[in-house]
Amino acid sequence: MLKIDKNNLPQHIAIIMDGNGRWAKQHAMGRIRGHKKGAQAVRTAVTACREIGISYLTLFAFSSENWGRPNEEINALMSLLGDYLDKEASTLQKQEIMLTTIGNIERLYPPVKEKLLEVKKLTEHNRKMVLNLALSYGSRDEIIFAIKKMITDNRSGKLDIDDIDNDTVGRYLYTNNIPDPDLLIRTSDEYRISNFLLWQLAYTELYFTDVLWPDFKKDDLLKAIAVYQRRERRFGLTSEQIQNK
Ligand code: IPE
Ligand code: IPE
Ligand code: MG
């Protein structure tokens, strides 16, 4: 197993879990079988992050644009999410993981939404790791929602325009209580952000791999972390400035 430095872990890892459909095609199966296998890879990734000591894991599970997929596929994804919550609630509890979500969960199928609220409530006092699922999530939607809320609060006297800064905007986003990701992983050899965390990724380290999500294992995660640890995060400063800090 790959060696990583426990003293320089990314505090927050975000993953665009992509490639379920292509995995299925490679194995001469329907897309839904790919999503099933993808759900198993979620279990593996959550446990691995918990073991490694990652504090926040955000998984892009369903985008606002994914609502445009064939109904059959949407139905299957909703029911897989329900299954995942049924089966994993006790494990999340045992591993002391808190479940949170970002996105417009009002749009999720009602029984799935109910389950989600239940598991969030069940796990809300867990402090070992936050598992944050991006569901019916689109970053532009999130930003529009934040702007509207800021305007409303301004009109009601709760928010002064002169007080709006980076932190203020951050507080109006779904990710309010979550630090920006340190590392973004996208699987399946695609090199785009696909409307994910546009504001929050400003200084995130990006890592792309050709591994398809259903094949993503703990070793792949360790590899990504090892690459992250070799990077120098400069945040606009010079290398000398960073090293003298
Ligand atoms: C990612 O896999 C899962 C979701 C977007 C829900 P895809 O379903 O996008 O798989 P590909 O990109 O078609 O291979
Ligand atoms: C991004 O994958 C969304 C999720 C992983 C949930 P997509 O497969 O929807 O992204 P595009 O369409 O290839 O950009
Ligand atoms: Mg895809």
pLDDT tier for residue 245 given thresholds of 50, 70 and 90 = confident
Task: Give the residue, out of 69, 135, 188, 208, with the most ligand 1 atoms within 8 A of its beta carbon, to mutate for a pocket test.
Answer: 188
What is the predicted pLDDT for the residue at 118?
Answer: 98
Domain assignments of the chain as residue spans, ordered by start = 12-138+180-244
Determine the Cα–Cα distance for residues 68 and 75; give it in Å rounded to an integer. Answer: 12
What is the predicted pLDDT for the residue at 1?
Answer: 77
Residue having the nearest C-alpha atom to atom 8 of ligand 2: 18
Measured from the alpha carbon of residue 196, the closest ligand is 2
Residue 21 beta carbon below 6 angstroms from any ligand 1 atom:
yes
Sign of CA dihedral 74, 80, 82, 88: negative
Helix (H, G, I), strand (E, B) or coil at 158: coil
Q: Which residues contact 9 (CB under 8 A, 6 or more apart)?
A: 52, 53, 54, 225
What is the predicted pLDDT for the residue at 2?
Answer: 85
- Provide mean pLDDT across the span 117-131: 98
Among 7, 66, 71, 195, which one carries the catalytic annotation? Answer: 66
Task: Judge whether 66 counts as a catalytic residue.
Answer: yes
- Provide mean pLDDT across the span 138-143: 98
pLDDT tier for residue 128 given thresholds of 50, 70 and 90 = very high
Q: What is the pLDDT of residues 30-54, one digit of tens each?
A: 999 999 999 999 999 999 999 999 9
Q: What is the pLDDT of residues 151-176, one digit of tens each?
A: 999 999 999 999 999 999 999 999 99
Q: What is the pLDDT of residues 88-101, one digit of tens each?
A: 999 999 999 999 99
Task: Judge whether 210 counts as a catalytic residue.
Answer: no
Look at residue 216 and tell me whether its pLDDT is greater than 80.
yes
Burial class (CB in 10 A: 0-12, 13-18, 19+), 183: buried
128 is written with which tokens? 């070992």
What is the predicted pLDDT for the residue at 239?
Answer: 98
Among 18, 20, 132, 220, which one carries the catalytic annotation? Answer: 18
Residue 17 beta carbon below 6 angstroms from any ligand 2 atom:
yes
Q: Which residues contact 104 (CB under 8 A, 6 or more apart)?
A: 64, 136, 137, 141
What is the predicted pLDDT for the residue at 56?
Answer: 99
Residue 84 beta carbon below 6 angstroms from any ligand 1 atom:
no
Confirm or reject CATH 3.30.565.10 for domain 12-138+180-244, answering yes or no: no
Task: Give the residue, out of 81, 194, 212, with the most ligand 2 atoms within 8 A of its beta carbon, to mutate for a pocket test.
Answer: 194
Percentage of the chain exceeding pLDDT 90 = 99
Determine the Cα–Cα distance for residues 11 and 49; give it in Å rounded to an integer. Answer: 10
Residue 20 beta carbon below 6 angstroms from any ligand 1 atom:
yes
- Provide mean pLDDT across the span 104-122: 97
